Structure 1
Amino acid sequence: MKHRLTVAQAVVRFLASQWTERDGIEQRTVVGCLGIFGHGNVAGIGQALLQAHRTGAPDLPYRLARNEQAMVHTAAGFARMSNRLSTLACTASIGPGSTNMLTGAALATVNRLPVLLLPSDVFATRVADPVLQQLEDRRAGDVTVNDAFRPLSSFFDRVWRPEQLPAALLSAMRVLTDPAETGAVTLCLPQDVQAEAYEFPDELFAKRVWHVTRPAPDPLAVERAAAVIRGAHRPLIIAGGGAVYSEASAALDRFARATGIPVADTQAGKGALSWDHPSAVGGVGATGNPVANRLARHADVVIGVGTRYSDFTTASYTAFQHPDVRFVNLNVTAFDAGKLSALPLVGDARAGLNALLPALHGRRFTGDFAADVAKWQATVEKAYRRKEGDLPTQAEVIGVVNEACGARDVVVQAAGSLPGDLQRLWRARDPKQYHVEYGYSCMGFEIAGALGIKMADPSREVFALVGDGSYLMMSQEIVTAVAEGVKLIVVLVDNQGFASIGNLSEQVGSQRFGTAYRYRDPRSGDYDGDPLPVDLAANAESLGAAVIRCRSAADLAEGLKRAREADRLTVLHIATDPRAPAPGSESWWDVPVAEVSTLHSTGEARIEYLAGKNDQRHHLRPGGL
């Protein structure tokens, strides 16, 4: 039997019939569609979504977004909260509507998060050529702006003919549901093809279940890895995002308790163990804490569990200083498992830990890190309670939010100085409590990502912690959340500029140039005049949010109680001191400083930079030798 449908109608019906299964639990793979309609998709995907909704056909619930980049962030937040087992589709019109999704595609692929992008494209028939918003490439007639998605996508295809659709859809689902390959999946849909009818086979629309397996690492690789770990004196575990996505917290807990090995975490792995677990030592690397970084510095075997070893995690290859350090990397992706010349264990994090523990034959390590962890927590407590100065510090704000956040609630952040302070200071009690997008560190992710997280699990309170710089770049999804009745708690930290880059600018000798939101001083020509009269709280209110203005940490604590009790999106605005320091990491990050300069500040920074470079090393020793 065949169904005569347009390509867009077939896409909607197919997606509505796709399911993901892991551990016997089934869920919709693509649970809905975010979109902004234009002349590229309003008659195609737009019509198909309406028809499915109105006729009772297999449905793909539609949500109207306000910014194309933001709606991809919403899908990414949804996918991460769903442990990469469910996601959202995103549709946009031809030209700028579609290319606005490029940044979101990069974020999803960098973070290994499944999102489905349906950018509209030019006329396949070329009967009207060029159409509005079409890029004309003089070298090739089949190149469009959507080709920019190719390097940003884990899978890319363009459906020039209806006959190509089944293969494209099945390939898209294969990648979306494969933890080792997943990321942004892009299916470009020419606007005429979207509306073209075809006799599609009935089998294409049958319920299809994509089984997400838990591949165990090769037994011989497990034995080799166990031999390396048994021979260690000061091993360290680094838990990454894979430990969370694979729901490996219980396995990691058993492994750590049985072996006595301390467990550090990355931004994506924070919460894999509760902050007060006896083996937990907190964040490692450039945004980590001194305890974890001292352990990393002296570790002779590092066991990576689901981490891709970004430059922050490795402190730009300065974190691991033991002369004979070896790495054992457990990762579902072979590409990541092989990093740092490691002995690779290619497999699911939970399955791998369960296979590795008995292979250690009861080997247990003793360490003396508990006292250092307690001392560090005393430092965190002091930072949370600081009472000096006219304005609260960012650390105080984090402390107030952390205390207001229940064990199952979620904090969302992405960019600026907050991710570093959060990884050092936040006390995560649940694998899903801490959601900091630090693979792409995209300013503007916070509110849009929080929307996706809340959509994925409405039972949790979601706190979006956003700086004024990120807020000004992308606050539009407040409107979407208000329209959909999605309650978020947004803490808007206003420090009159880019605090993170201001601090970094000083470190590299650039004197905070171009990092403050101030009037330009006509005498100096710099942005060092009076603060701008920008009222971000009023802006949030104009977008439909309830707003609470806070002048102190105490105000913020009281405001958060009111926000929890509210039934609508609430923004709490608080000004902070951008120069107040938070406790440091005792670590380093490679940001090159100008080799020659007439500025004294840059020259001094160059000297410090070269000192940091001295500790960089290539890890070339094979992990199994």
Structure 2
Amino acid sequence: MTVAQAVVAFLSQQYTVDNVGRQEYRERLIPGMFGIFGHGNVAGVGQALKQFQTTDPSLMPYYQGRNEQAQVHQAVGYARHTRRRATFAVSASVGPGSTNMLTGAALATTNRLPALLLPSDIFATRAADPVLQQLERPEAYDISVNDAFRPLSRYFDRVSRPEQLYSALFNGLRVLTDPADTGAVTIALPQDVQAEEIAVPLEFLEQREWRIRRPEPEADDVRRAMEAIRAAKRPLIIAGGGVLYSFAHQELAAFAEAAGIPVGNTQAGVGVLPWDHRLALGAVGSTGTTAANALAAQADLIIGIGTRYEDFTTGSRAAFQHPGVRFININIAPIDAYKHGTAVPIVADARKTLLRLTEALGGYRTGADLAELTAGEKRRWDAAVDEAFDTRHSPLPSQNEIIGATNRAMAPQDVVICAAGSLPGDLHKMWRIRDPYGYHVEYAFSCMGYEIAGGLGVKRATLAESAGGGTDRDVVVMVGDGSYLMMHTELVTAVAERLKLIVVLIQNHGYASIGALSESLGSQRFGTQYRFLDGEQHSFDAGSPLPIDLALNAESLGVTVTRIQPGGTAIADLEKAVRAARSAPEGSGPILVHVESDPLLDAPSSESWWDVPVSAVSDLDSTRGAYRTYTDHKLRQRPLLG
């Protein structure tokens, strides 16, 4: 067979095995492959997929996307919902087709989510040289555009000879299934090598299992952690995505309830507890709740579980104000376990560690004062969200009202998808989560354009979940007009496959998030509105709004569209439209609900901060004022180690 045929045949026989408690799970690691074909892969991977489709369509199902970056996003969305047990492979042609995947690779690696990328490469033999779309560097002729994947991938290899295929794939899948090291795995395939004949050992094509490692914590680490917990007066748990990836949400609840320790969560950790759990303070940090941030400011011990402590989580290191604050970091990845100069790093599986900690509590429980403070701050924040959801504005509603209406219209098990703009911060603060699988906001890379493509990946995963006897879920993408315009073309993919993806498109004629940030930094929302150009001032800030009709755009792609008219009934109409979309049968195709909002109506304050430097010297009064505010905030920033 050819090298490309060997790649496809090999990937079709790879399985993930995972043990959680007494249950063992086994599923295909690569359930399908995306590809856009051009020179480089059309006669290689493309031919192999066509051949196997003819002989056995179930061997490696092919899915057609519209953009290579978006195809990687679909793989990542699928991986997130399957808790890193499965992902897709993505094939691309030489040159621009392959480099289109660079942003997707960065997103996958930043989020610690697996995606297998198979970019095509120039001739290994240099028989035709230079080929169309080849980058030539006179000082390094062995470099191709695919070398740009090296810093963005957790594993990179180039199969320059057929015999290298075996080690490249084995090492790539080793990294792909390692919870501490996973991310983008990139294996570049030169176009001539893809089509070469190779004698493949039968052993290479047999079924192979990749077991997800879930190491136990060291007994001494558990002992030291319990010493720190018993000595603390105001401990706080910060739960990240690692809690969900290790299926530890029930163990987290048991530990928190037994010890009486409140829980804040990162973006990736939304869902570790239901929003109305008495110990659930919600989001922490710059996009957090006042409840979580009030407790974080007073905490003398932070127990970080499965978090990488991104700057939004730590309020740019201004969230933790106790002079003697210490950190216990529980993480499968050493890089995260050792952050902030922690005295107690625990490099282990979150679920297994929580079980050991609960066993070691020995009746320990925090004082009644912490319980009272937690309950009081939680009531204060819940009231603020109620007011934000229920206050009506007309003719254009606030984004708060839109989030509340969408939240009410969805079932507990449904999944909301988002990634960039003002929506992720507002969702993090206010979304009332009821299911550990119900929230998927890509915020490690916060990539504009991820939403629809990532939502499709989640939709594919929910369909597989339902087909396997699991929960039936609707997938609802919330996206602003700016992010929609970045990458909406995967709606065509949903149309072609009749996938019922529900999209709530919020039209605010610009970039609401950066507009608000720009204003707070003294830059007066410069360049953040969709306006006609004022030629005299060469400004896009003061002209009339562009006559963009995104609802009509979606209709032109074959999407079923509902337009919500501005006015006093907009929120009621929106809630009704989302419920109607949910009631549509599977196989009916994508449904988009278009609603306009007022971008100047803000969400409730987090009473936190995010460090974005302000110009120290300026002719603008607004910038000088913002700089004075910035220097005041910098005084609260802690010089935490690590």
Q: What residue in structure 1 maps to residue 466 of structure 2? A: none
Matched, 1:449 2:454: yes
Indicate how the Cα distance of structure 1 residues 259 and 448 shifts in structure 2: closer, same or farther if over 3 A, else same: same
Letter in 1 for 2:525: R
| Secondary structure of 1:423 counterpart | helix
Letter in 1 for 2:9: R
State how 1:359-398 maps to structure 2 within 5 Å. Answer: 359-366=360-367, 367=370, 368=372, 369-398=374-403
Take 1:251 and 1:199, find their aligned partners in 2: how far apart are those partners?
49
Letter in 1 for 2:582: R
Identity score, percent: 57
CA contact (8 A) 2:339 2:641 kept: no
Q: What residue in structure 2 maps to residue 89 of structure 1? A: 89
Take 1:188 and 1:46, find their aligned partners in 2: how far apart are those partners?
15
Indicate how the Cα distance of structure 1 residues 57 and 390 shifts in structure 2: closer, same or farther if over 3 A, else same: closer
Take 1:126 and 1:58, find their aligned partners in 2: how far apart are those partners?
36
| Secondary structure of 2:134 counterpart | coil
Cα drift, residue 524 of structure 1: 3.2
CA contact (8 A) 1:216 1:355 kept: no
CA contact (8 A) 2:15 2:29 kept: yes
Write the deviation string for residues 290-317 of structure 1: whole angstroms up to 9, x where unpaired: 1100100010000001000000000101
Letter in 2 for 1:186: T
CA contact (8 A) 1:115 1:184 kept: yes
Q: What residue in structure 2 maps to residue 588 of structure 1? A: 609
Write the deviation string for residues 549-602 of structure 1: whole angstroms up to 9, x where unpaired: 002111111111221122321000000000011101000000000110111111
Q: What residue in structure 1 maps to residue 355 of structure 2? A: 354
State how 1:469-480 maps to structure 2 within 5 Å. Answer: 469-480=482-493
Write the deviation string for residues 184-231 of structure 1: whole angstroms up to 9, x where unpaired: 000000000000011011101111011113211111111111111111
CA contact (8 A) 1:287 1:421 kept: yes
CA contact (8 A) 1:257 1:279 kept: yes
Take 2:37 and 2:493, find their aligned partners in 1: how far apart are those partners?
15
Matched, 1:565 2:566: no
State how 1:19-418 maps to structure 2 within 5 Å. Answer: 19-23=15-19, 24-56=24-56, 59-342=59-342, 343-366=344-367, 367=370, 368=372, 369-418=374-423
Take 1:68 and 1:538, find their aligned partners in 2: how far apart are those partners?
25
CA contact (8 A) 2:283 2:292 kept: yes
CA contact (8 A) 2:296 2:320 kept: yes
State how 1:475-554 maps to structure 2 within 5 Å. Answer: 475-527=488-540, 528-551=542-565, 552-554=570-572
Letter in 2 for 1:91: S
Take 1:215 and 1:556, find their aligned partners in 2: how far apart are those partners?
47
Take 2:447 and 2:281, find their aligned partners in 1: how far apart are those partners?
27
Runs of at least 5 residues in structure 2 that lack an aligned partner in the other structure: 464-471
CA contact (8 A) 2:410 2:579 kept: no
Q: What residue in structure 2 maps to residue 11 of structure 1? A: 7
Letter in 2 for 1:196: E
Write the deviation string for residues 97-125 of structure 1: whole angstroms up to 9, x where unpaired: 00000000000000000000000000000
| Secondary structure of 2:199 counterpart | strand
Letter in 2 for 1:357: T
Q: What residue in structure 2 maps to residue 615 of structure 1? A: 636
Take 1:86 and 1:52, find their aligned partners in 2: how far apart are those partners?
21
CA contact (8 A) 2:409 2:576 kept: no
CA RMSD of aligned residues (A): 1.0
Q: What residue in structure 1 maps to residue 426 of structure 2? A: 421
Q: What residue in structure 1 maps to residue 468 of structure 2? A: none
Take 2:444 and 2:183, find their aligned partners in 1: how far apart are those partners?
12
CA contact (8 A) 1:13 1:58 kept: no
| Secondary structure of 2:291 counterpart | helix
| Secondary structure of 2:429 counterpart | helix
TM-score (norm 2): 0.95
Q: What residue in structure 1 maps to residue 469 of structure 2? A: none
Write the deviation string for residues 131-170 of structure 1: whole angstroms up to 9, x where unpaired: 0000001111210000000000000000000100000000
| Secondary structure of 1:90 counterpart | strand
TM-score (norm 1): 0.98
Cα drift, residue 520 of structure 1: 1.5
Runs of at least 5 residues in structure 1 that lack an aligned partner in the other structure: none
CA contact (8 A) 1:17 1:58 kept: no
| Secondary structure of 1:91 counterpart | strand
Cα drift, residue 371 of structure 1: 2.2
Cα drift, residue 58 of structure 1: 7.0
Letter in 1 for 2:365: R
Take 1:448 and 1:417, find their aligned partners in 2: how far apart are those partners?
19
CA contact (8 A) 2:291 2:380 kept: no
Take 2:95 and 2:264, find their aligned partners in 1: how far apart are those partners?
44
| Secondary structure of 1:329 counterpart | strand
Letter in 2 for 1:15: L
Per mean C-alpha deviation after superposition, the further-off stretch among 359-368 and 438-447 is 359-368
Letter in 1 for 2:577: G
Take 2:147 and 2:157, find their aligned partners in 1: how far apart are those partners?
10
Q: What residue in structure 1 maps to residue 473 of structure 2? A: 460
Letter in 1 for 2:261: I
Indicate how the Cα distance of structure 1 residues 57 and 473 shifts in structure 2: closer, same or farther if over 3 A, else same: closer
Letter in 2 for 1:114: P
Could you tell me which of 434, 458, 473 is aligned with 2:439?
A: 434
Q: What residue in structure 2 maps to residue 605 of structure 1? A: 626
CA contact (8 A) 2:294 2:377 kept: no
Cα drift, residue 498 of structure 1: 0.2
Please identify runs of 4+ aligned residues in structure 1 that moved more than 3 A.
none
CA contact (8 A) 1:49 1:59 kept: no
- What is the aligned residue count? 617
Write the deviation string for residues 409-437 of structure 1: whole angstroms up to 9, x where unpaired: 00000000111110111000111101000
Take 1:127 and 1:171, find their aligned partners in 2: how far apart are those partners?
29
Take 2:641 and 2:132, find their aligned partners in 1: how far apart are those partners?
53
Letter in 2 for 1:465: M
Take 1:211 and 1:79, find their aligned partners in 2: how far apart are those partners?
16
Take 2:84 and 2:226, find their aligned partners in 1: how far apart are those partners?
29
Cα drift, residue 15 of structure 1: 0.4
Cα drift, residue 57 of structure 1: 7.9
